[in-house]
Each structure stands twice: as structure tokens, then as C-alpha cells.
């Protein structure tokens, strides 16, 4: 009896000391910010290989593949400290963000990041919690796939992107104003193309002579557009659509990621499919654009942006304009939809 007890205790001790093995292929399905509701995520594949000495991750998302190595000896490697803690893999690093913040002058911000990886009891799900020293925590949920090929097929099925209305923070503030003047045009919306090592933000703006002296008033959720004492219900001529792609660092993943191959070109030689949605449905198909390098929206610094002319005569001001952005090879990158 004592021998049986001894064997049981040793077996239990061995199980308690067993280290988790994160090896496998995983597909990201959803993300959750802080304690909010889960939302569908851009498909990301993780091909993980774990040995006694390191965890090697090959990630693929939106046409970019990148690789990262995490040493498991507890020592920092390329500013990253990785260690197995109980049933978790814990990664810690410090990242440096450079660039303007919501219109403020460019500055450098240092941020500490911690990632905690955990497998479900049946090892079918992988959860990665990212906790920054600035901002809020994010949870990513991954499902184990039987092979890389099947994971890629599943990613393609879920990659079809909807077109959501999204405005930059500065415009969200303007939307709350009861009265607004559109002399310089109107921001239609923004969209984001996310990869592993970079993101491309697209901002779409409508402008033209039509917007001069155009004023919007909002009272009790009722919106009215006026110019010179007259109520305006629809566009009176063509409008100018400008789309500016901006390379930004948006990933909070613990690196350092090394690109494997050339990523999708998401800034140069872009193509645009445009249509009006609402009271008057009007599909304009692919619209010819011109790539310019000038000050963007009267900013001092010149930047690249695309300009195109959009037929709009008679289109109600409350109708949405949908702009689907494609790479030269036809890959859909992003979609912007909105109205003034």
C-alpha cells in the first residue's frame, strides 16, 4: 500500500512540474479589449515550434510572414525576456513609439509590454493576454488547427472584410458639436490594414467647391445642412475624394519580428472601387486616381495621397460613400464608408 501511495505522489509531482508545450498551428478568431465583449479579429496564423531552449513563432497575416525567437533561459534576448511560469509563457519587453499623437508634435514614448500565453485544459485553444504599461489590456483567442494548410484555408474563409464606419478621434469630437462648418471639406472615415510588423492607416476626405460655406446643425439628433440661408439636401456637382495612406506602428506584439519575404505593397499603385449607398444606389466601379505628393489637408509636411473625382450630383448628403481599397494585384486592403 505504501508503494502504491509513493508511486501516486511521484506521478502527481511529475504532472505538476510538467512544462506546457505550445507547439502547433493556431488561427486567431477574436479579440477582447479589457473586459468587453469579444469581436471578430483579422485572421492571423501562428506556427509555433517549442524546444527545451526556445519558442519559435512564424506568424502570417494579410500577406506578410514574420518570425520571432523567444529564449527560455530567462535571460533577455533582443530586449525580450521569456520564461515558462507554471502553465504559462510570459514575455516581457520595452517598446519605443515614435510619431505624432492625435495632432500633437512628434515625440517618443517608451512602453513596457507583457504577454501571457495560456492553453485551455484540452490544449485546443490558445489565449494571449497583452498588458501594456500605457493603455488597456487585450486578449487574443486562437483555435488549434490540424495543419498549416487547413489553417490557411480557414483564414481565407474568414478574411472577407466588412466595411465599417470609423472616424479618427479628432473627428469624433467634431461630431459632438451642434454646429459645424465644412469649408475645407469633410472626413469620410478611416480604415486600417494590419500586418505583423506594420499597419497602414487610410484616411478618406471629401472636398470641393460644394463645401464652401456649407454648415451642418444638429438638434435633438435631427441634422440639417444649410448654405446662405437655404437648406441643402443633396450634392450639386462632383466632389473630390482624397485617400492618404500612412505607415504606422500599431502592433503591441512582443518582438523582435523578422520579415520572411516581401510583404504586400499597401501604399503604392493602389486601386479604388467606389459606390454610393443609401437612397440612391450608384456603383461607380473602379475610379481612376492620381498619386500626389503635397501638403495633406493643409499640413506643413508633404505626404503621398491619391486624388479622384467622384460624380455626386443629386446624391443625398445623408447617403454613404463606400471606398474599397485594393493593391495593384487586386488584393483587398481596406474599406472606408461614411457620409458628411
The pLDDT confidence band at residue 98, using thresholds 50, 70 and 90, is low
Q: How many CB atoms lie within 10 A of CB 235?
A: 22
**pLDDT for the residue numbered 296:** 66
- The answer to pTM > 0.95 is no
Q: Which residues face 126 on adjacent strands?
A: 119, 142
The pLDDT confidence band at residue 298, using thresholds 50, 70 and 90, is low
Strands 290-295 and 138-145: unpaired
Residue 141 pLDDT exceeds 60? yes
Q: Indicate the average pLDDT of the chain.
A: 84
In a 13 Å sphere around the CA of 279, the CA atoms on its Cβ side amount to 10
Q: Give CA torsion, residues 292, 298, 301, 302, to 10 deg.
A: 10
Residue 156 pLDDT exceeds 80? yes
The DSSP element (H or E) to which 121 belongs, if any, is none
Distance separating alpha carbons of residues 138 and 57, to the nearest angstrom: 20
Cell of 167: 472616424
**pLDDT for the residue numbered 15:** 42
Share of the chain above pLDDT 70, in %: 82
- Tens digit of pLDDT for each residue in 102-113? 444 455 667 789
Say whether the peptide bond before residue 256 is cis (omega within 30 degrees of 0): yes
- Dihedral of alpha carbons 99, 101, 105, 109, sign: negative
Distance separating alpha carbons of residues 70 and 109, to the nearest angstrom: 24
23-37, 89-103, 208-222, 309-323: segment of lowest average pLDDT:
89-103
**pLDDT for the residue numbered 321:** 96
The DSSP element (H or E) to which 15 belongs, if any, is helix 2-17
Closest by CA to 50, choosing from 89, 81, 79, 101, is 89
Amino acid at each position: 500500500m505504501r508503494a502504491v501511495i509513493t508511486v501516486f505522489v511521484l506521478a502527481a509531482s511529475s504532472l505538476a512540474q510538467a512544462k506546457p508545450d505550445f507547439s502547433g498551428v493556431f488561427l486567431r478568431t477574436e479579440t477582447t479589449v479589457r473586459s468587453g465583449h469579444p469581436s471578430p479579429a483579422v485572421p492571423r496564423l501562428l506556427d509555433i515550434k517549442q524546444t527545451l531552449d526556445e519558442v519559435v513563432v512564424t506568424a502570417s497575416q494579410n500577406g506578410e510572414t514574420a518570425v520571432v525567437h523567444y529564449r527560455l533561459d530567462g535571460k533577455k534576448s533582443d530586449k525580450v525576456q521569456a520564461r515558462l511560469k507554471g502553465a504559462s509563457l510570459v514575455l516581457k519587453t520595452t517598446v519605443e513609439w515614435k510619431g505624432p499623437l492625435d495632432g500633437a508634435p512628434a515625440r517618443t514614448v517608451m512602453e513596457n509590454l507583457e504577454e501571457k500565453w495560456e492553453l485551455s485544459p484540452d490544449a485546443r485553444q490558445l489565449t494571449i493576454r497583452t498588458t501594456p504599461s500605457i493603455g488597456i489590456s487585450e486578449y487574443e483567442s486562437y483555435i488549434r488547427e490540424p495543419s498549416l494548410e487547413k489553417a490557411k484555408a480557414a483564414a481565407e474563409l474568414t478574411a472577407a472584410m466588412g466595411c465599417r464606419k470609423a472616424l479618427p478621434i479628432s473627428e469624433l469630437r467634431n461630431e459632438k458639436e451642434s454646429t459645424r462648418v465644412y469649408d475645407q471639406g469633410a472626413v469620410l472615415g478611416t480604415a486600417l490594414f494590419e500586418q505583423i510588423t506594420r499597419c497602414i492607416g487610410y484616411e478618406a476626405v471629401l472636398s470641393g467647391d460644394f463645401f464652401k460655406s456649407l454648415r451642418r446643425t444638429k438638434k435633438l439628433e435631427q441634422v440639417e445642412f444649410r448654405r446662405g440661408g437655404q437648406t441643402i439636401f443633396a450634392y450639386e456637382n462632383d466632389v473630390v475624394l482624397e485617400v492618404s495612406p500612412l505607415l504606422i506602428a500599431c502592433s503591441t506584439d512582443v518582438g523582435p519580428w523578422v520579415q520572411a519575404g516581401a510583404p504586400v505593397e499597401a501604399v503604392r499603385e493602389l486601386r479604388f472601387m467606389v459606390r454610393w449607398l443609401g437612397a440612391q444606389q450608384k456603383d461607380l466601379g473602379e475610379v481612376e486616381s492620381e498619386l500626389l505628393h503635397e501638403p495633406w489637408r493643409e499640413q506643413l509636411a508633404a505626404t503621398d495621397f491619391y486624388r479622384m473625382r467622384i460624380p455626386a450630383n443629386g446624391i443625398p448628403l445623408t447617403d454613404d460613400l463606400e471606398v474599397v481599397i485594393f493593391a495593384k494585384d487586386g488584393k483587398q486592403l481596406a474599406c472606408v464608408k461614411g457620409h458628411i
